Structures are given as structure tokens and as C-alpha cells.
Structure 1
Amino acid sequence: MNFRNRIELTLENGVAHVQLVRADKMNALDPEMFAAILEAGSHLFEEPAARCVVLSGAGRSFCAGLDLTSMGQTDRHREVPLTERTHGNANAPQQAAMVWRKLPIPVIAAIHGVCFGGGLQIASGADIKIVAPDARLAVMEVKWGLVPDMAGYVLWRGNVRDDVLRELTYTHREFTGEEAVAYGFATHADANPLARAMALAQDIASKSPHAVRAAKTISNKWWDATNDQLLMAESHEQQRLMGSKNQREAVLAGLEKRKAEFGDP
């Protein structure tokens, strides 16, 4: 499935592969790319067969960030102010990153080459980030007289140390994939991040989709919910799962030492 010649989406064995395909521009973010990302995300909300998502970039890089030429032309004629919430709690650029966190299924980003600015924020929306050790990353916005405003501050909270984020933001210093893991921007470094991400996605897709979705629901509340709210979230999700068809299948498959056959949500 193609979205605006910017995103290719394939679905196989429960794994949706969402790939940025503006390779000639290192998948830089122009208005069509933003629109395509939002459309692909909306499609996945309504796709019950998708159990995990892999987010990657075609060609030499994951995403070089904003296409400043096209975005500059657009911004001069912006009709909707950035302060207007057009997608729930977010504006459209923020939703391009937040949609991956908001999806009810896990998202794994496979990062290689360049991952700058808005590209880094989009990758940060993933639950898990696999990065090439020699990838080049940067919180780039201050270089262009801007600030990170695509949900980065929300998505980095709890992962990236405060003083490290301040330094990288103020200086827009590049850092490697290995440093990204140490800093909290990424989960694992791997020489073949896409292969690692696809293998992990297949593993997740083999688990009970209802249990995985419930775990993501709780995880999304983890950082800013109170203890009481988290305790209730655990109880609420567990109450829904216990005795359900997929939960019974998980137990039987484990006892019978066979592959589980789960139904879609």
C-alpha cells in the first residue's frame, strides 16, 4: 500500500512494515511526507491484522529531518497555527511522531544513516528503537533557529537524561548510534537494524495480541500516571484478559508445547 509516494506499507504475518520512501532526499520531511505518515498511522489504527509495526527509511538514511525548502514555503502561508490542536492533544507535525506512541500495538524503529531533527522525533515515537552503531543522530532544530516541536520533549521524557538532552539541544551536536543507546535515545545498537527490528517484531506478533495491546496501554500511562492510577490500570486490563479466548489459548499452547493460534482483536 502506497501513501502519496512517500510511505510504503506492507503487512505480513502480523507485522506491518512502514517505510519512508523518499530516498533521493534521504526521506526528508516535506508536506506530502507529513500527510503520508498521518494517513499510514490512521490506517493502522483500523487494521486488526497488524500486531506489531516496524518503522524504517529506504535508501541511505532513516530521515534527514525537515525539508527546509518546502517547509519554508509552506510556513509563509500557514493557515492553521501550530498552537491549534488538530489531532487530539497534538498538532499535525506532533502527531507524525505521537501517532506511533498512540497506536495500540508496539512500534519498532530501525534507524540507519542520518536521523536528524524531526526524523529523530518520529523515530522516538516508537516503543523500541534499533540503531546502527555508525548512524548519525542530532537534535538539530537550534541550528536553524528553531526548537524541537514534534513531540520530542514528551517522547524523550523518562528515557534521555535531562542534562544530556539540554546539551544536545543547545549545541545540535551529532552523536552516533552507540552514543544514542547510552544517552537513552535508542534501545539497542545493531549493524543491521532493520533485520533486528523485523525479527523482534515477528516475536512480538507471535504473542497474544490482546495481552500485548493491554501492556502497551499500561506502558503509555507509566510516566505521568499516579500510583493509584497505574494500579487501577493493571487491574482493569487484567480483568479484561483473564479467561478470554486468547488468554486460554496462551495457557494451553504453553502446556502443550505448541505454537499458539491467536485470534485478531
Structure 2
Amino acid sequence: MTSSATALPSLRSLSVEIHAGVAEVQLLGPSKGNAMGPDFWTELPAVFDALSTDDAVRSVLLYGSGGNFSYGLDLPAMAPVFAPLLAAGGMDAKLREGFRRQIKDLQDAVTSLARCAKPVIAAVDGWCIGGAIDVIAAADIRIASRTARFSLREVRVAIVADLGSLQRLPAIIGEGATRQLALTGEDFDADRAAALGLVTELADDVVARGRELAVQIAANPPLVVQGVKQVLNRRTQAQVQDGLEYVQVWNTAFLASRDFGEATAAFAERRPPVYRGE
């Protein structure tokens, strides 16, 4: 990291460099496709909360390494979060409350982009799946390469998306489009993402274009820029927070299902899942 004002411990899932008012945050993995494991969920809020209070930073650019933004939640690495509740059949109230708090912690990690005082630009290349869409939905500006691909895929693994996409996307792409993407879990390409308004523009070199936008923002009066973000956030933040709290309770009650167990087994066995509504 290059900054005298921001001090962070050693990072494994992210790298941070700060130059001329622009902080560049890169997803590093270490899982395949920058999948989001325990390190990511700890480091993401630490990084964005630090950047929020760093006077040397005026804008933030977030992008992935290795040709992808992120494959989303690293299910094998995050299995310990789900395992106790599944083993108890969802019947232990203390386990359920602990699980709800874990959902809240993951939600708060994503929300660190929205609450960051500095505007955040997400530059998407390659795949952006599941939890990665939660993350970019919390950014202020989203742009993509022409080869980017997206999927709000949680429904396909027996999960109600609970980290912010269902709360934030309706204001970005509309209610109807959000429902279609969330209910089908379908993959869609960069042209469709642009047509929906999920991304505001496509670029051949998305990181270079992201840097141009970040520099342009950084040249504007910083307090005014932060004020614009705060005023825009004010429109939806109460509604978003209410939705996040509701889905915490819903998934705490229903995620420990036989269908979710089937999803995890099918993932491990590399076969299509068979869901029975149980």
C-alpha cells in the first residue's frame, strides 16, 4: 500500500495502492476466480473503513485479478459458517442467533462500500457471480469489459441472496429486472448488463477506464463529492437496511433445508442438484 495516512495489516485477499488521491483495491483470491472466503470478509470492511477516513483518498477503484472480478462466495471455505446449523437441523435457537449474526457481519462487509465516504467505482472483467453482484451493487459506479459475465446465482444453490443485491438492485436496474435475475439465476453478458443499467458503460480496457473516472472524480471538490454520495445514499439507505434485517431472519429460519444440503452435496459431487422443496 502507498499512503502515509492509511495503515492496514498485511492483506491476503486484497491489495491496496494509493496514488494522487485514487485508491486502487484489487481482489486477489487466494481462491480460484477471486472467490470470497474468510479473509475477504474480514479484510473488505477493514480496507474500506480505513479508506473512508483517509484524507489522502478522494475516490476508490475496485477490480479483480486474473481475468475475473469474482466467482462470488467461496462455498467450501465458508462451509464452517453453515455446518453447525445444518447439523442441528436448524432447531437450536442459540445456533440460529449466531448464524443471524454471521449473516449480519457479511452484510456489513458489503455495506462498507456504500458507507465509505469516498465514491467507489467497480470495474468488472470476466465473471461476477452471486456475492460479487452484492458487492458491486454497493458501489457508486459500475463499469464492465465487453467480455464480462454476470449471474445473480444464489437461487440455483438454494439460497435467498442475503448480502444486499435484492435490496440495492431494484433502485439500479428496476424491480422487474431484479426479480427475473434473482428468480432464474440466469447468466447474462455485458451488453445486457449495460441495457439494464447495472453498468453505466462498457470498455475494452475496463481498469484503465476505471482509473480515468476515478481521477476525474478525485479532481472535484472532495467535500462536495462526499456530499453528493451522502445525499444519494439517503434516498434508499433506510429501505435497504430494513430489507437486510428481514433477510437475516428469513435465512436464519429457512436456509438449513434439505434443498440446501442437496445443493452443497451436488456442488461437491459435480452433478446437477435435485430440489424437492424440503
Shorter-chain TM-score tier = 0.7 to 0.9
**Which residue matches 1:71?**
78
The alignment's TM-score, normalised by the length of structure 1, stands at 0.78
Equivalent-residue separation in structure 2 for 1:222 and 1:188 (angstroms) = 24
Give the SS at the match of 1:62.
coil
Aligned partners of 1:60 and 1:112 also within 8 Å: yes
> Which of 81, 90, 94 matches 2:98?
81
> Which of 29, 32, 41 matches 1:22?
29
Q: Tell me how large the CA RMSD over aligned residues is.
A: 1.9
How far off is 1:23 after superposition? 5.9
Aligned partners of 2:26 and 2:63 also within 8 Å: yes
How far off is 1:96 after superposition? 2.5
Give the SS at the match of 1:36.
helix
- The residue identity in structure 2 corresponding to 1:17 is E
**Which residue matches 1:196?**
209
Equivalent-residue separation in structure 2 for 1:213 and 1:105 (angstroms) = 6
**Which residue matches 1:111?**
124
Equivalent-residue separation in structure 1 for 2:212 and 2:40 (angstroms) = 27
- The residue identity in structure 2 corresponding to 1:222 is R
Aligned residue pairs, count? 221
**Which residue matches 1:54?**
61
**Which residue matches 1:37?**
44
Q: Which runs of 5+ in 1 are unaligned?
A: 226-265
The percent identity for this pair of structures is 29
Give the SS at the match of 1:17.
strand
Listed as ranges, the matches of 1:115-264 within 5 Å are: 115-223=128-236
Aligned partners of 1:3 and 1:40 also within 8 Å: no
Give the SS at the match of 2:159.
coil
Give the SS at the match of 1:203.
helix
Aligned partners of 1:23 and 1:58 also within 8 Å: no
Give the SS at the match of 2:63.
strand
Give the SS at the match of 1:159.
helix
| Aligned CA distance change for structure 1 residues 224 and 10 (closer, same or farther; 3 Å) | closer
- The residue identity in structure 2 corresponding to 1:154 is Q
Deviation sequence 1:17-36 (CA, Å, 0-9, x none):
01111165111011111111
Equivalent-residue separation in structure 2 for 1:18 and 1:3 (angstroms) = 14
Equivalent-residue separation in structure 2 for 1:132 and 1:23 (angstroms) = 23
**Which residue matches 2:249?**
none
Equivalent-residue separation in structure 1 for 2:15 and 2:211 (angstroms) = 16
Aligned partners of 1:111 and 1:135 also within 8 Å: yes
Structure holding more helix per residue: 2
Deviation sequence 1:50-77 (CA, Å, 0-9, x none):
1000011111200000111111233224
Aligned partners of 2:170 and 2:178 also within 8 Å: no
Equivalent-residue separation in structure 2 for 1:223 and 1:65 (angstroms) = 24
- The residue identity in structure 1 corresponding to 2:124 is I
Equivalent-residue separation in structure 2 for 1:77 and 1:3 (angstroms) = 30
The alignment's TM-score, normalised by the length of structure 2, stands at 0.74
Q: Which runs of 5+ in 2 are unaligned?
A: 2-8, 86-94, 239-278
Deviation sequence 1:169-194 (CA, Å, 0-9, x none):
11111001111111122111112111
